[in-house]
């Protein structure tokens, strides 16, 4: 970033408005990143933006009037952005019985716009390849479009797909959104990317071209300095530092999981996600549990009810903090629960 700032201070290397779709150097770096886990993405299919949240909310600009299908519980932006756009929304239930990983087997076969998030915010639950294959098969059979939020893919451990494009046929029915905020701590600097495959079409119309027109009309691009920082985050040294940070946070998650296991409290997440999604003890409601933790031990988390009706009675803890603070919170929880 220092080098890029220095370039911007000199007339000969100053840059004005960036390309709406991202500088080529970053689009190429993201394409190379996908190759690291066995997925082929062309640089021209990569669209750099100022945050996954922005793209999740703005993508409704190019959608038709198909029914929106949203898992419950899930990241609120999916629902709120579609409510503000006057869309017809249906929900598919995530719950303890399906490990908060809803599947399409009981859905009516009709065109939907389907939002999926894996690893999931808030539950931490992660689809395996067979499960994603079922969603892709349903989307292709029904003429649906999947919007796949993979903002937390860098946290994945084990044999879980880092991208929906690890599934054959997904490029014909899915858009993928990813974020530097979760991978490399870009909160506040704002940078993300979305993949629009060349194969993704409605009839003969390219969805990629629709998004390109939308971005050229309503977006002025991500600043050069930020894109150079994102490129550095995907370099060998930068990515190693990012993974070291993720390992640190996942160490915190392991400590939280060990406490809940010892206390016999059901939870998901904490393996491929920085979030621990727990069942509130004694059938407490989410906000009652929040109030108890705040009042009695001054520990805070996020009430599950804020993520949808199916989140009532659950609670999200995060491993995004120092190890010292996490251990202190765990000791307070150990005495209370």
Q: Which residue has the tokens 């370039």?
A: 7
Q: Report CA torsion sign: 110, 69, 31, 34.
A: negative
195 and 247 in one domain? no
The last residue of one of the domains, among 208, 234, 260, is 234
Tell me the percentage of the chain whose pLDDT exceeds 90.
92
Q: What is the pLDDT of residues 60-107, one digit of tens each?
A: 999 989 999 999 999 999 999 999 999 999 999 999 999 999 999 999
211 and 223 in one domain? yes
CATH number of domain containing 66: 3.40.640.10
264 and 116 in one domain? no
Token pair of 220 as six digits: 């002025």
Q: Which domain holds residue 171?
A: 2-234
The number of folded domains in the chain is 2
Which H or E element spans position 267?
Answer: strand 267-269
170 and 300 in one domain? no
Q: What is the pLDDT of residues 290-328, one digit of tens each?
A: 999 999 999 999 999 999 999 999 999 999 999 999 999
230 and 171 in one domain? yes
For the chain, the average pLDDT equals: 96
279 and 130 in one domain? no
Asked if residue 227 lies in contact with residue 25, where contact means CB atoms within 8 angstroms, the answer is yes
CATH number of domain containing 246: 3.90.1150.10
Q: What is the pLDDT of residues 186-220, one digit of tens each?
A: 888 899 999 999 999 998 899 999 999 999 999 99
Q: Model-level pTM?
A: 0.95
């Amino acid at each position: 970033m220092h080098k890029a700032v220095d370039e911007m201070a000199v007339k000969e290397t100053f840059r004005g408005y960036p390309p709406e779709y991202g500088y080529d150097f970053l689009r190429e770096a993201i394409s190379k990143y996908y190759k690291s886990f066995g997925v082929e993405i062309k640089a021209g299919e990569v669209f750099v933006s100022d945050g996954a949240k922005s793209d999740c909310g703005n993508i409704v600009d190019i959608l038709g009037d198909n029914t929106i299908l949203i898992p419950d519980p899930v990241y609120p932006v999916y629902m709120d952005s579609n409510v503000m756009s006057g869309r017809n929304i249906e929900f598919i239930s995530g719950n303890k019985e399906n490990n908060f990983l809803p599947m399409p087997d009981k859905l009516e076969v009709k065109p939907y716009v389907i939002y999926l998030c894996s690893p999931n915010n808030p539950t931490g639950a992660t689809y395996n390849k067979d499960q994603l294959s079922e969603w892709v098969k349903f989307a292709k059979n029904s003429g649906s479009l999947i919007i796949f939020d993979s903002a937390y893919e860098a946290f994945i451990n084990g044999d879980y797909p880092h991208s929906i494009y690890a599934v054959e046929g997904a490029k014909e029915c899915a858009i993928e959104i990813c974020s530097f905020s979760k991978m490399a701590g870009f909160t506040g600097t704002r940078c993300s990317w979305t993949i629009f495959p060349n194969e993704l079409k409605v009839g003969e119309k390219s969805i990629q071209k629709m998004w390109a027109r939308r971005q050229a009309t309503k977006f002025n691009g991500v600043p050069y300095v930020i894109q150079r920082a994102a490129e550095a985050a995907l370099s060998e040294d930068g990515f190693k530092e990012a993974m070291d940070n993720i390992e640190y946070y996942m160490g915190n998650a392991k400590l939280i999981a060990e406490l809940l296991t010892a206390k016999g409290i059901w939870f998901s997440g904490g393996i491929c996600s920085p979030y621990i999604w727990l069942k509130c003890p004694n059938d407490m409601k989410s906000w009652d549990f929040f109030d108890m933790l705040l009042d009695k031990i001054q520990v805070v988390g996020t009430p599950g009810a804020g993520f949808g009706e199916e989140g009532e009675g659950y609670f999200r803890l995060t491993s995004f903090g120092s190890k010292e603070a996490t251990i202190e919170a765990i000791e307070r929880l150990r005495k209370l629960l």
